[in-house]
Structure 1
Amino acid sequence: MATIEIRSLTGEDIWPWLDALASLRIQIFRDFPYLYQGSHAYEHEYLKHYLNSHSVIVGAFDGKQLVGAATAGVLSDHDASFAETLSEAGFDPQTLLYCGESVLLPEYRGQGLGHRFFEQREAHGRALGLQFSCFASVIRPEQHPLKPSDYQPLDAFWYKRGYIPLEGVQAGFSWQDIDQPSETEKLMQIWLKVL
């Protein structure tokens, strides 16, 4: 088993790793359930959100290679549609840590790195004085044609971390699926945990 170093990056320390993170996002999110047809141009624009002082990228490094990463920041600094959805549900977006992506190369899974990603992000949220941690997961039909027969959803892992899906609290987010000619909107389920 490789020795993996976990490092929390903030501010300008994030900049040198944006290309590697963009590549990881494109590679990992291509798989079900996201089926994301990514581009480096979009990724660079999107990832700039994390260059502010309230955000963190928790990186997993095998030597000098970034093999996984998880992002987080104050929801009010990040995504307007998710912030609006949670505001309508009675939450102040300035009190919420938004956990964005968590991506890890397949050969490094099963070593507890997913738990460490959440631990580091949640610690960052507590250090900022935030009350809640949240994230969004895509909702796909049970019989989706691109769903692998051995697909295992991560719900049990998220419940174990103390997150619960907020009933009826869903946001729309658009991207292009790998089997579609253009972007379509997907529903995203919001999950929440008290910090």
Structure 2
Amino acid sequence: MTLTIKTFSGPSAVPYFDDVARLRIEVFRAFPYLYEGSADYERKYLSTYARSPGSIFVLAFDGDEVVGAATGTPMKGETREVKAPFVVGGFNTDAIFYFGESILRSSYRGRGIGVRFIEEREDHAKNLGGMTHCTFCAVERPDDHPRRPADYVPLDEFWRNRGYLPRPDLRTTFNWQDLDETQESPKPMSFWIKEL
């Protein structure tokens, strides 16, 4: 196994979109996201990051195979759903760097790749200049959710150890189709934030 981490600016990641799309669908099928994805949606989603000035893709490779991916972009290029809580909360959204996702095939976890994903995006945000915070959001699922595995461990401690704090006052909703749904429905999301 030869693990490497490589970073790409928006358009330079396009050759890996199909790999990242397949990985997103694979990883996000698991709890807590339970995401029923499609390749077409994924390509459109990833294209928004490729077009966003200042965006970054951090990819983990095992040889030539993409086994992990993380994205980020200045918040000013993000959707209304992402920006609105920060606008209402009095933040300068031009100074916030948003982490889109961090996904890693389960057999590669526990090797420091998730830490690298955060560090690479934070360094990128600092190098852009003018960024005061990094943030991301996580889906909220009830503790008694029927698909919650008995051995599920939330990532809260991992995020806190990286300096991120939950902000329950910063909330939004994203729409997607769960595995047991016939159409998309809104999912509650809450933000975590760190001052750079």
TM-score normalised to structure 1 length: 0.97
For residues 132 and 33 of structure 2, what CA distance do their matches in structure 1 show?
28
Give the match for residue 177 of structure 1.
178
For residues 116 and 11 of structure 1, what CA distance do their matches in structure 2 show?
19
Query: Which runs of 5 or more structure 2 residues have no equivalent in the other structure?
Result: none
Give the match for residue 18 of structure 1.
17
**What is the alpha-carbon root mean square deviation over aligned residues?**
0.9
For residues 168 and 15 of structure 2, what CA distance do their matches in structure 1 show?
39
How far apart are 1:79 and its partner, in Å? 2.1
- Read off the aligned partner of 2:126 and give its amino acid letter: R
- Structure 1 outlier segments of 4+, above 2 Å: none
Residues 178 and 184 in structure 2, CA contact (< 8 A), matched pair in contact too: yes
Give the match for residue 100 of structure 1.
100
Give the match for residue 141 of structure 2.
140
TM-score normalised to structure 2 length: 0.96
Identity %: 43
Query: Which runs of 5 or more structure 1 residues have no equivalent in the other structure?
Result: none
For residues 70 and 136 of structure 1, what CA distance do their matches in structure 2 show?
13
After superposition, the C-alpha distances for 1:19-75 in whole angstroms (9 at most, x for unaligned) are 111101000000000000000111111111111331000000111111101000011
Give the match for residue 27 of structure 1.
26
Q: Secondary structure at the match of 1:90?
A: coil
Residues 99 and 134 in structure 2, CA contact (< 8 A), matched pair in contact too: yes
Q: Secondary structure at the match of 2:103?
A: strand
Give the match for residue 4 of structure 2.
5
For residues 65 and 121 of structure 1, what CA distance do their matches in structure 2 show?
21
The 5 Å alignment of 1:3-82 reads 3-52=2-51, 53-82=53-82
